Chain A
């Protein structure tokens, strides 16, 4: 079957969903284009600035899209391409986009406050402490999973003769890091024009790819890359953001768009046939044991269907810059559908390659580079480019996760041992978070990914719970958040039980302990949140008055 069917069905269904279901949600939630948003009521021309919805869509999408919608579908393809495709499409429309749209609207109606503040106001201190502990466990899993994925992507294999994309991409990636620092220096410190610097920066990215391709001089083993990456994330997490993170994230967005456009055009021209079986069964045997479609599919495709973390880490920008409420549909609902589209491209790449052997980056890069070769981009160059793009997103998630982990750890230390404790130090906390994540590396991303996905999806379920409560208090229909919320709770709790049993059988005791702890914390959080949210507070709405 031609993969064009997946692309066109995906595009058509997403468009129809946007226009119909997205509009339905907007109507049910009382979106009023005339109602002033925080960008007008709090206008200060600094943070609160009405912004063109297309520009905001671009920023918002770049901030939520990452390695998740690529790695997840590739790993979930063990069940066949059809169930993954269905979950991407249905999940994006009825779960992910609803979650993002709801969170953004709740934030707009609360004067730009984050969904977290809405949770804290409603859940209380105990709930917040539980939540932090839960989040920290999730974060060390994120760091371990993504470090392993990136190291696998860059590793040099001495037994393979000829060109290897890994070392080429690793070389390009190191050059890209230096380029990002230089870019930041020229724009921030020297005041060079941003538009001109951007053009030069993008040209230099492609030069870095070319250099990596021609002279892959950084050819290291996977273990060596572990060390380099752990040092890198320690530094990236402790250095000032303007030095590396901000310029790197800015340049990353160009990689993202180039990858999306290149992949899409390549698929259009090549029309690759799906080689993978459509459906392999509800139970599939793998090296990690028996995998059940329910619930594992729904936690493996953790992003590109629904994802918890990105509604909780807030730069505070989107809600503060929405010009009118009706733009929230495009920014909140629309951006998540585009992420679903990225996940479909990832699925097509693995379905064409027909097996997910090797790291997700390698599988994705092989597939998309093949497609792009039909539009004139040499296969090996394309592979380097796609690997660089993928790993660039993974590195962004890595250092954000490490910063967050450090922050939560420091907060905990301060609560238990006081501000003066030696552990309440940025570098010590970061080191502890990185070291503990490093210990999990021995398990490899295949074992860690499902439990990370489970924890991530649980966060989204909790955010949906908060949105549900907010809708209820404002006398708005909330069946459209209750259904995905209940489903996600059922999926994630079942997944934790099954994963725990698998870990016990395989004697992976550290992961077993983490899974059990996550289960306990999740139940406590659900009970705590439900108790508080269902207690009668004012039945009047909690919206900020315009």
Chain B
């Protein structure tokens, strides 16, 4: 599968839940796909404006394609994810969770990258959980095969990013 086909496949999966943008520049990094999901749940009394409790969940997808990804490139991407998490995560009183999905598509990979990805962790809990948490999922998708390398958090969403014909 080539990069455009994969991005189209992913966009179709996400279009109901996410706002999607293509070829977006964020923090000086050009992304092939950026997607954002926001949900607000709660209970109301009488009308929708009378909210007695509510909570928010966010999910972001930052996707970039590399013909060849080496350790230097993955570390750059990781730094980007760390910076972007400081920008987008906002632990207000209604914040429950923010998930940041960093996805790299590759045609070929340096073997050293796999360990870097698997070991990567960037999570935080705010005010002992009272202001929620955020987790970063890092996944690398081999466009030539079925392989997806991911960190521990990424395992939860591996199926979403699998190449489906």
Could you tell me which A residues sit within 8 Å of B by CB distance?
Answer: 44-46, 113-114, 116-117, 119-120, 128, 131, 135, 185, 188-189, 191, 239-243, 245, 312-316, 400, 403-404, 407-408, 411
Contact = CB atoms under 8 A, between A and B. Distances in A.
Nearest to B123: A189
A55 B68 CA distance: 49
Contacts of A191: 156
A240 B97 CA distance: 12
Counting from the closest, the 4 A-B pairs by CB-CB distance are A116-B46, A117-B47, A407-B52, A403-B52
A239 B53 CA distance: 10
B16 A114 contact: no
Contacts of A114: 44, 46-48
20 contacts: A114-B47, A117-B48, A135-B45, A185-B129, A188-B97, A189-B129, A241-B53, A313-B44, A313-B52, A314-B44, A314-B45, A315-B41, A315-B44, A316-B44, A316-B48, A403-B53, A404-B45, A404-B52, A407-B51, A408-B45
A243 B127 CA distance: 13
A313 B45 contact: yes
Contact of B133 (A189, A313, A403): A189
Nearest to A405: B52
B55 interface: yes
A313 B48 contact: no
Contacts of B156: 191
Given A114-B48, A239-B130, 12 more contacts: A116-B50, A117-B47, A240-B96, A240-B132, A242-B55, A242-B96, A313-B45, A314-B43, A316-B43, A400-B43, A407-B45, A407-B52
Given A45-B16, A189-B129, A240 B43 contact: no
B17 interface: yes
A483 to B, nearest CB: 25
A46 B47 contact: no
Contact of A46 (B39, B96, B129): B39
Contact of B46 (A45, A245, A312): A312
Contacts of B47: 114, 116-117, 120
Interface in B49-102: 50-53, 55, 93-94, 96-97
Contacts of B125: 189
Contacts of A241: 42, 53, 55
A542 B130 CA distance: 43
A243 B129 contact: yes
Contacts of B16: 44-45
A308 to B, nearest CB: 12
A491 B144 CA distance: 74
Contacts of A45: 16-17
A191 B152 CA distance: 11
A313 B53 CA distance: 11
A279 to B, nearest CB: 39
A403 B50 CA distance: 12
Given A189-B133, A407-B52, A312 B45 contact: yes
Point out which of A119, A131, A242 has the most chain B C-beta atoms below 10 A from its C-beta.
A242
A240 B52 contact: no
Nearest to B129: A243
A245 B54 CA distance: 12
Contact of A120 (B46, B53, B132): B46
A243 B93 CA distance: 13
Contacts of B41: 315
Nearest to B46: A116
A407 B129 contact: no
A131 B94 CA distance: 27
Contact of A113 (B48, B50, B53, B132): B48
Contacts of A411: 50
A501 B97 CA distance: 53
Given A46-B17, A46-B39, A404-B52, A116 B45 contact: yes
Nearest to B156: A191
A46 to B, nearest CB: 6
Point out which of B48, B97, B133 has the most chain A C-beta atoms below 10 A from its C-beta. Answer: B48
Contacts of A116: 44-47, 50
Contact of A313 (B43, B93, B96, B129): B43
Contacts of A312: 45-46
A403 B44 CA distance: 11
A252 to B, nearest CB: 16
Contacts of B55: 240-242
B52 to A, nearest CB: 5
Contact of A131 (B46, B51, B53): B46
Nearest to A190: B156
Contacts of A408: 45
A316 B51 CA distance: 11
A185 B132 CA distance: 11
B14 to A, nearest CB: 11
A243 B42 CA distance: 14
Nearest to A43: B16
Contacts of A242: 55, 96
Contacts of A44: 16
A212 B20 CA distance: 52
A114 B50 CA distance: 11
Contacts of B51: 407
Contacts of B94: 240
Which of B50, B93, B97, B133 lies at the interface centre, i.e. has the most chain A CB atoms within 10 A of its CB? B50
Contacts of A185: 129
Nearest to A315: B43
B46 A128 contact: yes
Interface string B23-44: 0000000000000000101111
Contacts of A131: 46
A240 B16 CA distance: 27
Contacts of A189: 125, 129, 133
